[in-house]
Amino acid sequence: MAVEKVDKEVHVEENGTKEENGTSEPSISNENDESSDLSSMIQKDEDDGKEVSKKKKKKNKSKKKKELPQQTDPPSIPVIELFPSGEFPEGEIQQYKDDNLWRTTSEEKRELERLEKPIYDSVRQAAEVHRQVRKYIKGILKPGMLMTDLCETLENTVRKLISENGLQAGIAFPTGCSLNWVAAHWTPNTGDKTVLQYDDVMKLDFGTHIDGYIVDSAFTVAFNPMFDSLLEASREATNTGVKESGIDVRLCDVGAAIQEVMESYEVEINGKVFPVKSIRNLNGHSICRYHVHAEKSVPIVKGGEQTKMEEGEFFAIETFASTGKGYVREDLECSHYMKNFDVGHIPLRLPRAKQLLATINKNFSTLAFCRRYLDRLGETKYLMALKNLCDAGIVQPCPPLCDIKGSWVSQFEHTILLRPTCKEVISRGDDY
Ligand SMILES: [Co+2]
């Protein structure tokens, strides 16, 4: 998320342990699969038409039948192997309203979309990975889990399903698993012993990307049903933000609609009633290629900017429901960092900082990373160098964002694309 005006209180500690590097090579072909599939043979025999018979000839020539693999449990098959055509499931389609209804049927706008198809397929592949990973994680989550294990399992599953490949495909940012009054930007640093509790409210915010086309989507986990309506408030507020978004829609109008829904909720927790507040200094944001927090902010309260959403833009629509002040400040040890997108070449004299920057450029470029990601690459004792890069304005630290101690925050987030003919909720699943 994007954050505005926060009070700083950041603690830094030295640590650095190494874990194994678990990348997997992309595997696109399943031509070696010799097993036969009766139903696909029947389908082929029933097919007709020139296009189909051409394909049939090609298939018969190679004397091999295609059988699409099924995802395993736990998931291990790269999503590209489940969709070898390179076409991935479309997200939820929402039609534009009122003045923009004409777009639905415009031939000119459809032509524009045909040109953009490769981009749609990239981001839809990233979304399919997001859906499969979160489905798996929801199934294994339980109180008593070490947060570090949870994150590493999630991240290694993303790496496998997205066929991680340098900057071409992979994790888009650290796994946020902020608890309770921590709203965002918390992930364990190496050695952290935090254990997930039955009464925790955890925001799982993770990102996937193909070719820099990022899916940024989050949901909240609570085991205790007393938090159900707190979760519902942010889920419905986010759905409202998604529904109100559109080409030529003013960002302030999206924010006002979100706040209206959010603050219609009150929640009872441990016998005490709280009004639900939208966290006023957290926002959704536009997303550009390799740039998760691009220039536009999507407010979640009224009184925001009048800037409009535009055709072709990606937005992360995310809302935060709080029982606290509805205002966050930076606190706790920092784990998240990101290279400044606009920074040009800055000459560095310190060799250690120079070397660390080379590692960051090669592995993350302008995508966000966390200390654990540096540890697994074999970097050690890098905190001073990292601080140098932050002080030089090359890297931005993104510390945890916290409401008042003892409060609870929930979050839901979707990535949407304002296509020329319709709005596509890229990250929509049957879960949220
Ligand atoms: Co976001």
Residue 324 near residue 267, CB atoms below 8 Å: no
Question: For the chain, what percent of residues have pLDDT higher than 70?
Answer: 85
Known binder of ligand: residue 205?
A: yes
Letter string b/e over residues 83-93, b meaning 16 or more CB atoms within 10 A of that residue's CB = beeeebeebee
318 is catalytic: yes
Q: Stretch 74-95: mean pLDDT, rounded?
A: 98
> Does residue 339 have a pLDDT over 50?
yes
Cα(110) to ligand 1 centroid in Å equals: 29
pLDDT confidence band for 3 (50 / 70 / 90): low
Q: Stretch 153-180: mean pLDDT, rounded?
A: 98
Known binder of ligand: residue 318?
A: yes
Q: Which of 49-53, 291-295, 399-403 shows the lowest per-residue confidence on average (mean pLDDT)?
A: 49-53
121 is catalytic: no
pTM for the model stands at 0.86
> Does residue 141 have a pLDDT over 70?
yes
Where is 228: in which H helix or E strand? helix 228-244
Q: Which of 15-29, 93-107, 127-141, 368-382 shows the lowest per-residue confidence on average (mean pLDDT)?
A: 15-29
SS3 call for 308: strand
- Give just the sign of the alpha carbon dihedral 405, 207, 154, 365: negative
- Determine the number of helices (DSSP H) and then strands (DSSP E) in the chain: 10, 19
> Does residue 67 have a pLDDT over 90?
no
Residue 89 near residue 128, CB atoms below 8 Å: yes
- Give just the sign of the alpha carbon dihedral 95, 100, 101, 102: negative
d(CA 340, CA 348): 16
Q: Rg of the chain's alpha carbons, rounded to an integer?
A: 23
Cα(135) to ligand 1 centroid in Å equals: 19
7 is catalytic: no
Residue 110 is predicted with a pLDDT of 98
Residue 65 is predicted with a pLDDT of 61
Residue 38 is predicted with a pLDDT of 31
Residue 96 is predicted with a pLDDT of 97
291 is catalytic: no
- Please name the residue that has the structure tokens 């302030």: 252
- For residue 359, with 0-12 CB atoms within 10 Å meaning exposed, 13-18 middle and 19 or more buried, which class applies? middle
- Please name the residue that has the structure tokens 């109100």: 244
pLDDT confidence band for 64 (50 / 70 / 90): low
Known binder of ligand: residue 293?
A: yes
Residue 40 is predicted with a pLDDT of 37
Alpha helix stretches (DSSP H) within 11-146: 38-46, 50-62, 79-82, 107-140
> Does residue 9 have a pLDDT over 50?
no
Residue 58 is predicted with a pLDDT of 42
DSSP secondary structure string, 331-389? -SB--EEEE-TT--------HHHHHHHHHHHHHTTTS-EEHHHHHHTT--S-HHHHHHH
Cα(107) to ligand 1 centroid in Å equals: 33
> Does residue 324 have a pLDDT over 50?
yes
Residue 361 is predicted with a pLDDT of 98
Residue 182 is predicted with a pLDDT of 99
Q: Which of 21-30, 184-193, 205-214, 218-227 shows the lowest per-residue confidence on average (mean pLDDT)?
A: 21-30
